[in-house]
Amino acid sequence: MLIQLSEEHEAIREGVAKVCAAFDDEYWSACDTEKRFPFEFHKAMADGGWLGITMPESLGGANLGVTGAAIMMHAISSSAGGYSAASTVHLNLFGPHAVVVFGTDEQKERMLKPLIAGTDRACFGVTEPDAGLDTTSITTFATKVEGGYRVTGRKIWTSSGQVSNKILLLTRTTPRDQCRKPTDGMTLFYTDLDKSRIEVRRIDKMGRNAVDSNATFIDDYFVPDADRIGEEGMGFHYILHSLNPERILVGIEAVGLGQGALARAARYAGERVVFGRPIGANQGIQHPLAENWAYLESAFWMIMRAACLYDSGQPCGAEANAGKLLGARAAFDACTRAVMTHGGMGYSTEYQVERLFRESILLRIAPITEQLILSFIGEKVLGLPKSY
Ligand SMILES: Cc1cc2nc3c(=O)[nH]c(=O)nc-3n(C[C@H](O)[C@H](O)[C@H](O)COP(=O)(O)OP(=O)(O)OC[C@H]3O[C@@H](n4cnc5c(N)ncnc54)[C@H](O)[C@@H]3O)c2cc1C
């Protein structure tokens, strides 16, 4: 058993960190305050060839698997950009996973190449206001017509919708009460997000403001057959396929965010002198930071184990879910502690930790909440009755 990163992984980490280093606190702070999408960072990542890290080599990707992507996302979120930086590229890496696995050759060529080049940006339209976490209760409906479908419904929280020209859209094509199983009868599309026909209304929110989130209103919108991914009625099953990689990446992004905040806290604790000595000489400051390190490190390795299992084709649901839970909790604790360590300055924007703190709570909520992860582990790992 060899539990360490390979040379290739270290090379990914260094390459990505180099790109990130060009975008400093000032840049990310301005993006957050001005609610401005980090176009320059997105372009730099595309130009460096990083957006195709999980995509097939035949399309210009690097096919480095979820493990490679995890190393990359970890490097991004531990940089000055934190979770905003990760979210800038996350959906493009990952949202289209269903196209990678279930798309036709024509679709892969047409849909994935522009994402890898950074000329297209995609958002993810799954969550609905009246369904919440109960995804099989979505009601956005795609009615079959000549040559395609007419879609009507409402999505919520569609992230990066303001700057995306494509949307991965989960719909119903058979009402839930007419399906054999609630997970049947849903159909997935990857299609144009034509804002002259679809209203994408920004939601004001607590943090991660460089990347917008939206309420999306779709009214009798035509989607061609060519944009349907896989078979009609199988959409939910395709989405399920990408859940474990998503948990892995979000979990590792959380760890990076927490480690970035912890590094800032440790630096400040070493420099700030009160009562004639650095505050970090006090165990009341030092021990909580050491504890954050331990929790973040253990989450990191749980997540890397999930990534390795996934890439070698083995079941990884328990590890991926546990990794997301541990990573998000450890990140939230580390970011909270980073604010506390800075005392009053932790509350100022100058030291950045309040920005990271605001981002960290999101990781406990989205894309899946802690409660639902624990329900999954309770049922699938511990054999307890299903509770949702
Ligand atoms: C900033 C942001 C960005 C997002 N981006 C996207 C995006 O790009 N695309 C997208 O599709 N979605 C996106 N989401 C949506 C996100 O995935 C959901 O908010 C999340 O899954 C939680 O769903 P909900 O908000 O509807 O919570 P609800 O389903 O309303 O749940 C509310 C609370 O009740 C708890 N709960 C519900 N049922 C149970 C149960 N049976 N047992 C125990 N507890 C339960 C939940 O855990 C939660 O704490 C985003 C959300 C946010 C906040």
pLDDT digits (tens, 9 = 90+) for 36-80: 999 999 999 999 999 999 888 998 899 999 999 999 999 999 999
pLDDT number for residue 93: 77
**If you search the block for the tokens 């582990």, which residue do you land on?**
377
* 366 Cβ inside 6 Å of ligand 1: yes
Enter the tokens of residue 24.
């400093």
* 388 Cβ inside 6 Å of ligand 1: yes
Q: What average pLDDT does range 316-336 have in this prediction?
A: 98
| Ligand 1 center to 333 CA (angstroms) | 21
* 376 Cβ inside 6 Å of ligand 1: no
* 124 Cβ inside 6 Å of ligand 1: yes
- Cα atoms in the Cβ-side hemisphere of radius 13 Å centred on 150: 4
| Confidence band of 13 (pLDDT split at 50, 70, 90) | very high
The residues facing 215 across adjacent strands are: 156, 201
Q: 3-state secondary structure string, 280-332?
A: HHCHHHHHHHHHHHHHHHHHHHHHHHHHHHHHCCCCCHHHHHHHHHHHHHHHH
Q: Whose alpha carbon is nearest atom 44 of ligand 1?
A: 371
Tell me: pLDDT of 382 over 70: yes
pLDDT digits (tens, 9 = 90+) for 74-132: 999 999 999 999 999 998 776 688 998 899 999 999 999 999 999 999 999 999 999 99
* 206 Cβ inside 6 Å of ligand 1: no
